Amino acid sequence: MSQVSETTVERNIKTSGMQVSKTDVAIDVIGMHKWYSDFHVLRDINLKVMRGERIVIAGPSGSGKSTLIRCINRLEEHQEGQIIVNGTELTADLKRIDDVRREVGMVFQHFNLFPHLTILQNLTLAPIWVRGIPKAEAEATAMHYLERVKIPEQANKFPGQLSGGQQQRVAIARSLCMKPSIMLFDEPTSALDPEMVKEVLEVMISLAEDGMTMICVTHEMGFARQVANRVIFMDQGQIIEQNDPENFFSNPQHERTKLFLSQILH
């Protein structure tokens, strides 16, 4: 009843001009439920994300958006249903979790940079210790991504010396240094001053243009219109409506979606 039919998704992708095959499923969430002790926070979530797809999740605060994407790299565990990431199902097996986390980058609302390390050290820490990449190579990669987020000159500073926008761009670069196949963003711009939002969104847009699989929780509707293949609206722990951005914004179906959009778009 609630499962999005595969054809719908595939057609959706095809409209954006991409090839689809079975192996191209990046994330598959099937009938997933999650509880915080007695509180049923995620209810019957079904979500299939194809490789290269860009998904924006919107919804009122407390609707479970963060919880959903945190389940995808198992910062939270789910109790029912399946989550399959890159063909690996997430279970309590620590080894598998580490394997999945290596392939999935995550960007947090509050950046969570390591304040005791320089920017460069922040970027090379995981490549060196998780992937076993030689330091020189890791630093070269780090500089490459710092250039990509347009702050190579900050490499030897500490996070505390950077502006919020710069810190968030470093956080994105830090995730990219692990060469992830999927990127998760949890409200990456909502802790930023308005003038810094743009610089972070620009980086995200350029990522999207390179074909990165992305799930973004964000209320930046301009961004959604520009890059998303699909927009998902969540409320009270469930997916209420999803559609391509065009239709989602111009022709919302569900009452709650309409209400939400009217509030967020004034």
Contacting residues toward another protein, per CB under 8 A: 1-2, 4, 8, 11-12, 15, 33, 35, 37-38, 40, 43-44, 73, 75, 79-80, 98, 101-102, 104-106, 108, 110, 112-116, 125-126, 128-137, 157-158, 160-162, 171, 174-175, 178, 236-244, 246-248, 251, 253-254
Q: Which of 12, 54, 63, 173 binds ligand ADP (CB under 6 A)?
A: 63
How far is Cα 66 from Cα 23, in angstroms, rounded to an integer? 27
Which part of the chain contacts ligand ADP (CB under 6 A), choosing from 12-20, 58-66, 112-120, 153-161?
58-66
The full DSSP string for the chain is --SPPHHHHHHHHHHTT----GGGEEEEEEEEEEEETTEEEEEEEEEEEETT-EEEEE--TTSSHHHHHHHHTTSS--SEEEEEETTEE--S-HHHHHHHHHHEEEE-TT----TTS-HHHHHHHHHHHTT---HHHHHHHHHHHHHHTT-GGGTTS-GGGS-HHHHHHHHHHHHHTT--SEEEEESTTTTS-HHHHHHHHHHHHHHHHTT-EEEEE---HHHHHHH-SEEEEEETTEEEEEE-HHHHHHS--SHHHHHHHHHHT-
Q: Is 78 in the site for ligand ADP (CB under 6 A)?
A: no
CB of 56 to ligand ADP, least distance (A): 13
User: How many amino acids of this chain bind ligand ADP (CB under 6 A)?
Assistant: 11
CB of 40 to another protein, least distance (A): 4
The amino acid occupying position 228 is: A
Integer-rounded Cα Rg, in Å, for the chain is: 18
Which part of the chain contacts ligand ADP (CB under 6 A), choosing from 14-22, 60-68, 152-160, 205-213?
60-68
Write out the binding residues for ligand ADP, residues 8-47 only, by CB under 6 A: 36, 39, 41
Please name which of 130, 46, 57 lies closest in space to residue 84, comparing C-alpha atoms.
46
CB of 263 to another protein, least distance (A): 19
Q: Which is nearer to ligand ADP, 60 or 152 (CB)?
A: 60
Interacting partner of 67 out of Mg ion, another protein, ligand ADP, none (Cβ under 5 to 8 A depending on kind)? ligand ADP
Please name which of 217, 221, 218 lies closest in space to residue 265, comparing C-alpha atoms.
221
Q: Which of 23, 61, 250, 263 binds ligand ADP (CB under 6 A)?
A: 61
Interacting partner of 63 out of ligand ADP, another protein, Mg ion, none (Cβ under 5 to 8 A depending on kind)? ligand ADP
Q: x-or-dash pattern for Mg ion, window 53-72, by CB under 5 A?
A: -------------x------
Residues that bind ligand ADP (CB under 6 A): 36, 39, 41, 59, 61-67
Residues that bind Mg ion (CB under 5 A): 66
